[in-house]
Amino acid sequence: MAYRFKPGTRAVGKALRRIAAEQVDKAIAELEDGDLAAPVRVHQARKRLKKLRGLVRLVRPVFPAGKRENAACREIASALSPYRDDAVMTNVYDALCAANAGGIDRPALAPVRRALTGQRSVAADTGDIDAALTGALDALREMRARIDGWHLSQTGFAALGKGLAATYGAARDGLDRAVETPAGPERVEALHAWRKQVKYHSQHARLLALAWPEATGPHIAAARALAAMLGEHHDACVFAERMADPAAGPVEARGTLAVLATRRAAALEQDSLVLGRRLFADKPKALKRRWRIWWKSAADAEKMRKAPAASHAAEVGDEGDERAATKGWFGPSPLTRDSIR
C-alpha cells in the first residue's frame, strides 16, 4: 500500500496504523539486511524515520500518543545522524568538482577527497556504527509493538486538517525567520530549521495527494524541490566548515573548496527563498479550507463513480425522461473521476 490517505475515509486511525506499520517494517527489514553496507542502512533508516515523523505530525493534534512517538523517531534518527554526515561530505566534494570542472585543478584537490574518504572509512569500520544500528533496530521493534494501540480522537478530514495547517504555518513562519535573520551562522541555522518544516509539509502533501492529484502533484514537486535545495544548502555549509580542519587536507585545496561550497550555498539560498515565497503564499487557514474542499470533492466523485448508472434512470418517471436523464440535460457532469485524478 502507498504512503497515502484515501479521500473520504472515516477510518483515519486505521489508515494511520497501516501506513506506520509499513514504514517501520521496511525500516526493520533494511536494517537487518546484511547485504547492505552500514552507511546505506543508515541512509534508509533515516528516510523511513522522516516519513514516520511526517505521518505522526500530521495527526498529532488529535493523536494522544503523538508527542511520545515523534520524540521516539527523533531520538533514533539523532543516534544515526553522525554517520550520515560523514557519508555526505564526499558526495558534496564530488558535486562541487563536477559543477566547477572547467575552473579547478582537480589533482590538487584530490588529497581532500582522500582525507574525507579516510574519515568515512574509519567511522564505518568502528563498532560505534554497528551499535547505533542495533539500537535503532531495537527501538523500531518497540515502536512496531505499539502501533496497534495507536488511536485518534477524531475521524475524517478533521483528523488531518489541523496538522496540515499547523505544519504549513510553521514552514511559513520559518521562511519569515530565515529572511529576517542576518547573514552568517545564525542564518544557516534558520534555513536548516526552515528546511525541516518544509520537509514535513511535503510529506503531508504526499499523504493527502489523492485529494486532487492534478493540483497536489505540482505542489508536492515544488515542496520536495525546496526541501532538497535547503538540504543541499546545509550540506554545503557543513562542508565549508569542515574545510577549516587541517586534517581535511592541504590548506590551499581546502581554501579553494571552501570558496566553492560557500558560493554554492549562496546560490541555493537565493533560489530557495524565491521558491519558498511562492509555495507559502497562502495563509494556513486558506490552504486548509481549499484542501478540505478537494478532499470532499474527491470523496463525492468516488461515490458517484461507484453508484449504479441505473439508479439515475430509476428516478425518472417515463421512458422519454429516462432517455433524457441518460444523456444528461446539461451534458456530462464536470465533476467526474477523470477530472480530479
Q: SS3 for 151-214, per residue?
A: CCCCCCCHHHHHHHHHHHHHHHHHHHHHHHCCCCHHHHHHHHHHHHHHHHHHHHHHHCHHHCHH
Characterise 184 by phi-psi region: left (phi > 0), alpha (psi -120 to 50), beta (else). left
Grid look-up 518544509 returns 198
Distances, alpha carbon 137 to alpha carbons 78, 116, 337, in Å: 14, 28, 42
pLDDT single digits (tens) 152-209: 999 999 999 999 999 999 999 999 999 999 999 999 999 999 999 999 999 999 999 9
CA distance 27 to 80: 13
Grid look-up 467526474 returns 336
CA distance 172 to 115: 40
Thinking of the domain 12-304, which architecture would CATH place it in?
Alpha solenoid (1.40)
Predicted pLDDT at 124: 52
Tell me, what amino acid is at 19? I
pLDDT in single tens digits along all 341 residues of the chain: 699 999 988 899 999 999 999 999 999 999 999 999 888 899 999 999 999 999 999 999 999 999 999 999 999 999 998 877 667 899 999 999 999 999 999 999 999 999 998 876 555 555 588 889 999 999 999 999 999 999 999 999 999 999 999 999 999 999 999 999 999 999 999 999 999 999 999 999 999 999 999 999 999 999 999 999 999 999 999 999 999 999 999 999 999 999 999 999 999 999 999 999 999 999 999 999 999 999 999 999 988 888 765 455 445 444 444 443 333 323 333 333 343 33
Neighbours of 202 (CB within 10 A): 24
CB distance 340 to 298 below 8 Å: yes
Q: Which three cell numbers stand for residue 47?
A: 528516510
Predicted pLDDT at 320: 46
Predicted pLDDT at 58: 98
Domain boundaries, the chain: 12-304
The full DSSP string for 26-91 is HHHHHHH-TTS-HHHHHHHHHHHHHHHHHHHHHHGGG-TTHHHHHHHHHHHHHHHHHHHHHHHHHH
CA distance 220 to 207: 10
Q: Which of 191, 150, 177 is nearest to 66 (CA)?
A: 150
Q: Which of 255, 230, 231 is nearest to 245 (CA)?
A: 255
CA distance 64 to 309: 43
Q: Which of 303, 279, 308 is nearest to 6 (CA)?
A: 303
Neighbours of 241 (CB within 10 A): 14
CA distance 212 to 220: 12
pTM metric for this prediction = 0.86
Predicted pLDDT at 117: 87
